[in-house]
């Protein structure tokens, strides 16, 4: 059976106009657009447009999806390698024109000669492993396959920057369970498919700093648009 993420990426590459849904364990639903995965640069958020300027050299696009970020960087002349755990994402990104893309986990990198200058994690992918140990392992793996002056450009959400009662209630439920407020249990729904439950950690800046230091990196800079909870951390090697 095709998993929802693979089907979403396939349809994005096919130009399908449709919606998919992220369901949080408390029942909250977020509606998103399939076409977001192939959106051109001028439709990106202001934050992503700002953050992409920090990319240099050879790039590892982690969680590349249908290839929107990697393709943009490739057009600019960067040597880009995309990785994703969804087989459909890799097929879609190659169909869209990304030269190199592999089914691979960021915590189990397997390259023979590649050394990257920038690793990019857009789409909240900094916390996609959903677990402190796995995120730290990802950062440790990136130590091995990046240059001494490499950067990680990582997006996430500071969940504490909200007044939404539903979010605040969920954060408190997490605290009572001994979980970070932004550690979200969710699943994706698309067409007649329902994905498995998994964790996504929206880290606060302090949490990102802590995880970075455990993985041998330091949080060098935070990019954030006033009034928004989304932010991008620029990490450099310790």
Digit-coded pLDDT (tens) for 187-201: 999 999 999 999 999
Q: What percent of the chain has pLDDT over 90?
A: 97
Residue 1 clears pLDDT 60, i.e. is over it: no
Q: What is the pTM of this model?
A: 0.95
**DSSP bridge partners of 221:** 234
Average of per-residue pLDDT values in the chain: 96
Average pLDDT over residues 123-139: 95
Residue 93 clears pLDDT 80, i.e. is over it: yes
> 231 CB contacts (<8 Å, ≥6 apart)?
47, 155, 156, 157, 158, 205, 222, 223, 224
CA 56 to chain centre: 18
Q: Which pLDDT score is estimated for 212?
A: 98
CATH code for 4-237? 3.40.50.150
Burial (Cβ within 10 Å: 0-12, 13-18, ≥19) of residue 113: exposed
Average pLDDT over residues 112-133: 94
CA dist., res. 32 & res. 20, Å (int): 5
At residue 30 the predicted structure's pLDDT band, cuts being 50, 70 and 90, is very high
Residue 170 clears pLDDT 60, i.e. is over it: yes
Average pLDDT over residues 24-39: 97
Average pLDDT over residues 25-36: 97
Which residue is it, tokens 């796995």?
134
């Amino acid at each position: 059976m095709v998993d929802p993420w693979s089907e979403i990426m396939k349809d994005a590459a096919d130009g399908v106009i449709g919606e998919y849904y992220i369901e949080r364990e408390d029942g909250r639903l977020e509606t998103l657009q399939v076409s977001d995965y192939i959106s051109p640069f001028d439709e990106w958020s202001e934050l992503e447009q700002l953050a992409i300027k920090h990319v240099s050299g050879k790039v590892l696009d982690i969680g590349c999806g249908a290839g929107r970020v990697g393709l943009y960087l490739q057009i600019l002349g960067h040597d880009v390698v995309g990785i994703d755990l969804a087989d459909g994402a890799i097929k879609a990104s190659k169909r869209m024109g990304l030269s190199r893309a592999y089914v691979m986990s960021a915590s189990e990198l397997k390259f023979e000669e590649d050394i990257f200058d920038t690793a990019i994690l857009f789409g909240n992918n900094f916390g996609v492993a959903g677990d402190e140990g796995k995120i730290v392992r990802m950062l440790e793996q990136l130590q091995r396959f990046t240059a001494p002056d490499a950067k990680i450009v990582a997006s996430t959400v500071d969940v504490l920057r909200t007044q939404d009662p539903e979010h605040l209630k969920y954060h408190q439920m997490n605290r009572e369970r001994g979980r970070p407020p932004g550690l979200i249990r969710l699943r994706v729904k698309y067409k007649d498919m329902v994905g498995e439950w998994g964790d996504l950690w929206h880290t606060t800046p302090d949490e990102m700093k802590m995880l970075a230091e455990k993985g041998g990196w330091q949080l060098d800079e935070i990019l954030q648009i006033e009034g928004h909870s989304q932010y991008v951390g620029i990490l450099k090697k310790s």
